Amino acid sequence: MLYSIFQSHKDEQVHKWTHYFPVYERFFKDFVNKSLVMYEIGVSRGGSLQLWKKYLGPFATIVGIDINEASKKYEDEQCKVRIGDQADLDCLRKVVDEFGQPDIVVDDGSHVMRDLDVSFRFLYPLLNNNGVYIVEDAHSCYLPEFGGGLGKPSSFIEKAKEMIDVLNSYHYKKEDKVDDFAKSTFSISFFDSMIVFEKRRRGKPYDLMRGNPDL
């Protein structure tokens, strides 16, 4: 569905890798025609705001965040644009105060390691339950000009790998020592150039068994 919308899109320019579309469909399909707030960091030429509006439907509030003042021209009755740096916490706070906590965040901004980290650490805890946070164009994590590099500790991918251990921390920490990331994260998924976090409040895992063990 989303790819078909993209193929027929004739308005402002949208620039996406082809393999992103099945990922979007997998994680966004349950949001279609629901009341929600989406933040997209990085407005570029405005086309992706239009794409999300067409796909998610009329009840979605879509907020673009960009450092370029010219991005304001892509606003309409459903898509709003706020100007600011994604690593500026005051800017992010103002967006949250104005539009509320997000259900979806797509980080398609600077792709600089520090910016990815600052935005994630501020916005992810505010993501609503059952929300989705996507860091896209994550191949920048391997590029020195963005502060990345294969195996480099500052790379957001390296930090996300460490979060896998945190996600599983119920199995090696006492329950009262498990942090909120583990308690509120259902999954971390890695794709080519994308990392997807699913926010879902959960407790300690319990082992279940049903049926006759002798069969």
Residues serving a catalytic function are 111
179 contact partners, CB below 8 Å, separation of at least 6? 166, 169
37: β partners: 61
Instruction: Measure the CA–CA gap between 16 and 126, rounded to whole angstroms.
Output: 26
Decide: 50 and 75 in contact? Cβ < 8 Å.
no
Token pair, residue 12, equals 């402002």
Rounded to 5°, the CA angle 139-142-143 comes to 95
